[in-house]
Amino acid sequence: METLKEEIAATAARLVVEEGLEYGAAKRRALKQLGLPERTALPDNALLELQVEDYIALFCADTQPQELRALRRLALDWMERLQAFRPYVAGAVWHGTATRRSDVFLQLFCDDSKSAEIRLIDLGVR
């Protein structure tokens, strides 16, 4: 039998994959969907990550690998454009659990944050 945290994580995993929610928001919404009090202990992100992987394997195995490749290509394109800021990819694209609803997170490193902002504006990012 599943523990309560596993049930919350499984419900949150569905929300992460199907709706593109971030982990914290997905856990809180899972509590509401399960009719649990707000003060219920939440699963940690490691358990949620495992549930996301299981959900993808069960319900998205035919589409997720292509979606992940497309997002990784997009991330690489932007990393090349922003190479002066030593970018790192993070989140679901890095972990391999990204789907078409996932955001691409890039971490940039620079001494002057304004220089990164200016470069993004020059590239048409609003």
Tell me how far the alpha carbon of residue 66 is from its chain's centroid: 16
Distance CA 61, CA 75 (A): 21
pLDDT at 126: 86
List, in sequence order, every residue forming a beta bridge with 105; answer none if it has no partner: 90
- Of 22, 26, 20, 15, the closest CA to residue 102 belongs to 20
pLDDT block averages, 10 residues each, the chain of length 126: 89 97 97 97 97 98 98 98 98 96 96 95 94
Distances (CA, A) of 41 to 9, 52, 100, 101: 11, 19, 30, 27
pLDDT at 1: 41
pLDDT at 2: 75
